[in-house]
């Protein structure tokens, strides 16, 4: 259990800094490009940083386990796309705590599948849900770096006017993360933590590459807008950003995100999923502090109340 706690905290620290970095990459060159090259850098980090030192065995990776791993990875990829979109158009200190509440969903599913929480943990789940409502309902302006189109899109529709920019996307990411990270414990036990991360990165890269090719094909042979930002021409330079700012944000963010995934996977293999998941969700505290210090994001009292409830709920769930 002690190792599970340490790995959960390590995942929280890595995810917190990674989200801050990947926000900068998304704002610099778009969500799709950030997701695409995040998989490239992450896969290279696993091949260079792990494989030469620890020979990875895929003996337990049956076809069904690989298919399950790939499916869960794609769910997490969609959640990541929603999350980075919310980072681009909303306040980081608001949407990050909402996304971190995936630990409540994971915990509930873990309870239904056999985990037994204490009374404080149940109270913590309630505080998490209340905190999501308070931090999400408070009005917030789009980030200054977001374009005019993003700002207009963020204010269209009744849900967006009610919840604020980036909040619907963060809520969607929370739901997807909660389900997928709960289910990961079943494939990790069979395949292995690092192996699951590697299969996931490869699957996501293939899926995003297919989107690029489809987008190029539609534009080339049918006409009209491509399916994904950056997929406007077959040449690699049409997809790869030339901005050095993008790469300065993306490379550390992708490496830290990969490290967090590995830490989480290994953690759930040897400890209660509810404990590791909720400890991992503490990444929001790291992200909020970074946004407050470096981005000068200011929250209203209601927003701070929601954030504090989320943090208190996460702490209670971990008791």
Whole-angstrom CA distances from 297 to 164, 209, 253 are 15, 35, 20
Residue 117 phi, psi dihedral angles, 5° rounding: -85, 165
Provide the mean pLDDT of the chain: 78
Task: Check if the beta carbon of residue 191 is closer than 8 Å to that of residue 65.
Answer: yes
Q: What is the pLDDT of residue 167?
A: 86
For 49-82, the pLDDT digits (tens) are: 887 667 777 777 889 999 999 999 999 999 988 9
For 120-130, the pLDDT digits (tens) are: 867 877 787 68
- Judged by average pLDDT, the poorest of 147-151, 239-243, 247-251, 284-288 is 147-151
- Burial string for 270-293 (b: 16+ CB within 10 Å, else e) reads ebbbbbbbbbbbbbbbbbbebbee
The answer on pLDDT for 147 being more than 90 is no
For 16-58, the pLDDT digits (tens) are: 899 889 888 888 888 888 899 999 999 999 988 887 667 777 7
Domain count, the chain: 1
The answer on pLDDT for 100 being more than 90 is no
The answer on pLDDT for 237 being more than 90 is no
Helix %, strand %, coil % of the chain (to 5): 80, 0, 20
Task: Check if the beta carbon of residue 254 is closer than 8 Å to that of residue 37.
Answer: yes
Residues near 132 by beta carbon (within 8 Å), at least 6 away in sequence: 97, 98, 101, 171, 174, 306, 310
Which residues span the domain enclosing 264?
2-317
- Judged by average pLDDT, the poorest of 136-140, 144-148, 211-215, 288-292 is 144-148
């Amino acid at each position: 259990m002690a190792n599970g706690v340490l790995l959960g905290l390590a995942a929280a620290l890595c995810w917190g800094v990674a989200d801050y970095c990947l926000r900068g990459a998304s704002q610099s060159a778009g969500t799709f490009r950030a997701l695409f090259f995040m998989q490239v850098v992450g896969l290279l980090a696993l091949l260079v940083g792990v494989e030469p030192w620890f020979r990875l065995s895929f003996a337990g990776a049956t076809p069904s386990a690989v298919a399950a791993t790939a499916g869960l990875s794609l769910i997490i990829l969609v959640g990541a796309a929603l999350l980075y979109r919310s980072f681009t158009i909303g306040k980081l200190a608001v949407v990050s705590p909402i996304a971190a509440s995936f630990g409540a969903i994971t915990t509930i599913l873990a309870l239904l599948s056999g985990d037994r929480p204490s009374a404080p943990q149940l109270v913590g789940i309630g505080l998490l849900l209340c905190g999501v409502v308070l931090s999400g309902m408070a009005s917030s302006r789009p980030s200054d770096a977001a374009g005019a189109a993003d700002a207009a899109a963020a204010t269209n529709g009744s849900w967006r006017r009610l919840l604020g920019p980036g909040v619907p996307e963060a809520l969607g990411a929370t739901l997807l993360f909660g389900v997928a990270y709960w289910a990961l414990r079943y494939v990790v036990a069979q395949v292995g933590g690092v192996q699951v991360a590697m299969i996931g990165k490869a699957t996501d890269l293939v899926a995003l590459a297919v989107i690029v090719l489809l987008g190029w094909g539609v534009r080339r042979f049918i006409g009209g807008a491509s399916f994904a930002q950056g997929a406007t021409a077959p040449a690699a330079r049409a997809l790869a950003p030339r901005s050095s700012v993008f790469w300065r944000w993306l490379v550390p963010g992708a490496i830290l995100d990969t490290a967090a995934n590995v830490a989480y996977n290994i953690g759930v293999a040897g400890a209660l999923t509810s404990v590791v998941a909720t400890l991992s969700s503490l990444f929001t505290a790291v992200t909020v502090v970074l946004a407050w210090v470096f981005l000068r994001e200011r929250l209203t009292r209601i927003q701070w109340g929601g954030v504090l409830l989320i943090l208190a709920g996460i702490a209670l769930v971990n008791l």
